A and B are shown apart, each in its own frame.
Chain A
Amino acid sequence: MSKRKNTKLINRLTCAALALPGLMHEASAARVEETYDVDVQYGHYEESGQRIKVNTFESAFTIPIGNAMTSMFNFVHDAVSGASPIYNSRDAQGKVTQVMSGASIKEERNMIDANIAYFLDQSTLKAGGGYSTEHDYKSKYLNASWSQDFNKKHTTLNLSGSVAFDDIEPTNFNSDCGNKCTKTTEQVLAGVTQVLNKDALLQTNLTFSNSSGYLSDPYKRVIFYDANNVLTTIASDKRPRDRRQWAGLVRYVQHVEDANRAALHADYRFTTDNWGINSHTVDLSWHQPLGEGWEIVPRIRYYTQGKADFYEPTFTGTPTNTPNYSSDYRLAGFGVVSGGLKLTKTLSSSKPLQYLKLNAGIEYFDHKSRYELGGNDSGSFADFKYYLFTASVNLKF
């Protein structure tokens, strides 16, 4: 069997991430501040083994409008290059190997996003939308949120919803959807943030998302073998046409006065969906001020997921007997262990600048099937490592 070399097969890092864009804007001011913000960030993502590299440039602008409103504009530009896994193959002895795409091509994504927030004494209403485009994937989305304070601002109720309409036009003709596939995603969030005491905060969120339409990856393949490990069919990735996912998050923030006013952040999130994937995430960070405007933030994270019901590294049999099938490593069972460090310097002396913050951070990730909670004996053929470097400047005036 010849290895398929298609120079246009690039990892779907960018368009896959468009599934839930609307609710990413979590941290705008909770109440109106008559200040302008300019935030610019550069990010570099790189995988081991000559795989995917991404350079991303983001800029965000917050502009107050009158006494009770704030507007925010976001621009993102991603440049992706490198190889990515296309399928898994099985040799005569039954050993599985991951097969990559050939030489890579540079791919770009641009995104523009805007929202308006209206502040009342005890509540905030926000609405916005955006548009993201790359040569084979376009997404338009809308979102709205409502935050309400209760109990002398000790309790905040958060409700939000978003909807995204995606158009996928794969560069390789895909018989599943012809020239164009569509995908629609709706997400709702309900949560409560509670001030526990003068030093601690707890947030509990529940989200539900529903995706429908073409949810497969048009560039990935699934290989079917017979009982003697002889290849019978090369099929296109075929996932169900709907996905419903629940996520529950608990975030705890604790002030530690004695450690020079440090703050501990501890997140736990559980997700489950109708594809049979359950996941757990634990994300811990320690925000340590060092004096003279310096702050260091070490962080560790552990993520584990179980495999999708229709995932197998390779399949035995034929596609006609299997309603859904995928060998995408992102639907396999695995765990990711990561650690990172970030340094911030805040300069706040010269008016009219309220502050100028410089940030730089790096986080290393180790993705292994055997890190899955409860164990996993599928082998290390899909294991890889990656890192994320970020550098940013925040201006408030």
Chain B
Amino acid sequence: MQTFKVSLFIGLIISTVACSEVPARQRGNLALPQMALTPDAQESALRQHTFLSKEAASGGYGGTGGGCGCN
């Protein structure tokens, strides 16, 4: 039941937020360093490492995407 609620929540977010096609020339904002999913990899790793040591939960983080869409 919980997972269903969460996936519904996610699905709602995706369908209500504007989804539009972004031409390559307009990816400048997405390419900004502060727009990266993880702007500071080392800091993020240390924070997650700290949480894992003090809290029971872990996981969820990983993967790439967004950015400038360059080849």
Contact = CB atoms under 8 A, between A and B. Distances in A.
Contacts of A305: 55-57
Contacts of B69: 149, 152-153, 195
Contact of A363 (B2, B10, B47, B71): B47
Contacts of A257: 29
What does DSSP make chain A's interface, helix, strand, loop or mixed? strand
B59 A207 contact: yes
Given A31-B71, A392-B42, A195 B34 contact: no
Nearest to A32: B71
A284 interface: no
Contacts of A250: 9-10, 13
A262 B33 CA distance: 10
Contact of A200 (B2, B17, B21): B17
Given A198-B26, A209-B58, A363-B47, A204 B38 contact: no
Interface string B22-53: 10101111101011111111111111111111
Nearest to B66: A201
A183 interface: no
A107 to B, nearest CB: 13
Interface in B6-26: 6-7, 9-10, 13-14, 17-22, 24, 26
Interface string A330-354: 1100001000001000000000000
B2 A270 contact: yes
A354 to B, nearest CB: 12
Contact of B32 (A207, A252, A263): A263
B71 A121 contact: yes
B29 A331 contact: no
Given A200-B17, A205-B63, A263 B34 contact: yes
A380 B23 CA distance: 55
A216 B47 CA distance: 23
Given A26-B61, A200-B17, A272-B2, A39 B42 contact: yes
The number of chain B residues touching the other chain, given as a range, is: 35 or more
Nearest to B45: A24
Contact of B60 (A12, A28, A205, A359): A205
Given A25-B45, A41-B46, A388-B50, A20 B21 contact: no
A195 B37 contact: no
A45 B54 CA distance: 12
Interface stretch (A165-173, A275-283, A313-321): A275-283
B42 A60 contact: yes
Interface in A168-207: 187, 189, 191-205, 207
Contact of A209 (B32, B36, B59): B59
Contacts of A43: 46
Shortest Cβ-Cβ A-B pairs, 6 listed = A193-B65, A158-B63, A249-B60, A156-B65, A247-B59, A27-B38
Given A28-B41, A305-B55, A330-B53, 4 more contacts: A56-B46, A124-B64, A202-B14, A281-B57
Interface of B: 2-3, 6-7, 9-10, 13-14, 17-22, 24, 26-30, 32, 34-67, 69-71
28 contacts: A13-B54, A16-B52, A17-B53, A24-B48, A30-B64, A39-B42, A41-B46, A60-B42, A152-B21, A152-B69, A153-B69, A158-B65, A194-B65, A196-B18, A209-B59, A245-B59, A247-B59, A251-B37, A252-B13, A255-B32, A261-B32, A263-B35, A287-B34, A287-B39, A295-B34, A305-B56, A342-B40, A390-B43
